[in-house]
Amino acid sequence: MPRRPIVAGNWKMHLNRSAAAELVSALRGGLDGLAGIDVVLCPPAPWLAETADHLRGSSLEVGAQNVYWEPHGAFTGEVSAAMLTGLVDYVIIGHSERRHVFGETDEDTAKKLDAVLGLGMQPILAVGELREEREAGQTPAILERQLRAAFANVDRLPEGFVVAYEPVWAIGTGLTATPEIAQQACAHVRRIVAERFGDGPAEACRVQYGGSVNAENAAALAAQSDIDGLLVGGASLNAEAFTAICRAVAATKGS
Ligand code: PEP
């Protein structure tokens, strides 16, 4: 079975309430019903409910940028997976900014993954190496460590599971990985998934590339056999650019 492509837009901590609503409206107008692809918008947490309301009845889906593993309690500022249930379809876990700005560990990522899977939401599990790790030839080992740690308590992957390969040196820097480098790393992600869960789940697992994706480089990245979609930061804040990226992926993967 061919893997269904997926493009997600990570808005990070950008856009006030009215700008977010305007963007959702423009994207619904440009992307609703786009065939053969999943499109996911990941706004800041305060705009999740409004975004979900606005997208109801459309083909676009909603994702959270982060989650906490405990179901409830004295955890000021955190949002639990239970609170996201019914509100979002996807949850980004292990984004490099969570790992490297907020100090999240591989163990934290594993607990978040367990919480999200346990409640039937679809994770977008982000992994990727730092520039110095790539330069030291450690990329395969870093991906293996991050994935194996995240999967520590996972027995089976749900249908359509998403891993986002995001080299840290490419995020928000304008330094996109070449399609060849991205393909090599995404193929490695799939190999690790195969070793852990078997060939079937690995073939079904969707692997995104993320890191300075834009309307110009999206098609070449999506043309790679192990790249099933894109995780987009900066360019997802621009309706025209994000629409073009989604259309490029749909066209490339559909052809
Ligand atoms: C991201 O936030 O996941 C990302 C890839 O950002 P950007 O596209 O801006 O590099």
Q: pLDDT, tens digit, for every residue of 6-16?
A: 999 999 999 99
* Residues written for the chain: 255
**Residue from 232, 236, 245 to probe ligand 1 pocket by mutation (most atoms less than 8 Å from CB):** 232
pLDDT tens track for 95-118: 999 999 999 999 999 999 999 999
- Domains observed in the chain: 6-240 (3.20.20.70)
| Matching residue, tokens 């409910």 | 49
Atom index in ligand 1 nearest the CA of residue 236 equals 8
- Residue 171 Cβ inside 6 Å of ligand 1? The answer reads yes
Q: Is the pLDDT of residue 27 over 90?
A: yes
Q: Is the pLDDT of residue 1 over 80?
A: no
In this structure, the residue with its CA closest to atom 8 of ligand 1 is 233
Please tell me if the CB atom of residue 231 comes closer than 6 angstroms to any atom of ligand 1: yes
**Sequence-separated contacts (24+) of 197-205 with Cβ below 8 Å:** 197/151, 197/156, 197/157, 201/156, 201/157, 201/161, 203/3, 204/1, 204/3, 204/157, 204/159, 204/160, 204/161, 205/3, 205/157, 205/161, 205/162, 205/163
For residues 241-245, average pLDDT: 98
Provide the token pair at 129. Answer: 């190496």
- Provide the mean pLDDT of the chain: 97
C-alpha of 228 from chain center: 11
Q: How far is it, in rounded angstroms, from Cα 82 to Cα 244?
A: 34
- pLDDT tens, residue by residue, 219-235: 999 999 999 999 999 99
Indicate the pTM of the whole model.
Answer: 0.97
Our mutation pick for probing the ligand 1 site, out of 124, 213, 236, 246, counting the most ligand atoms within 8 A of Cβ, is 213
Mean pLDDT of 33-41: 97
Decide whether any atom of ligand 1 lies within 6 Å of the 172 Cβ.
yes
Collapse the DSSP code of 64 into the 3-class scheme (helix H, G, I; strand E, B; otherwise coil) and give the result: strand
Dihedral, 19, 51, 126, 186 alpha carbons, nearest 10 = -90
> Which is nearest to 22 in space by CA: 45, 43, 1?
43
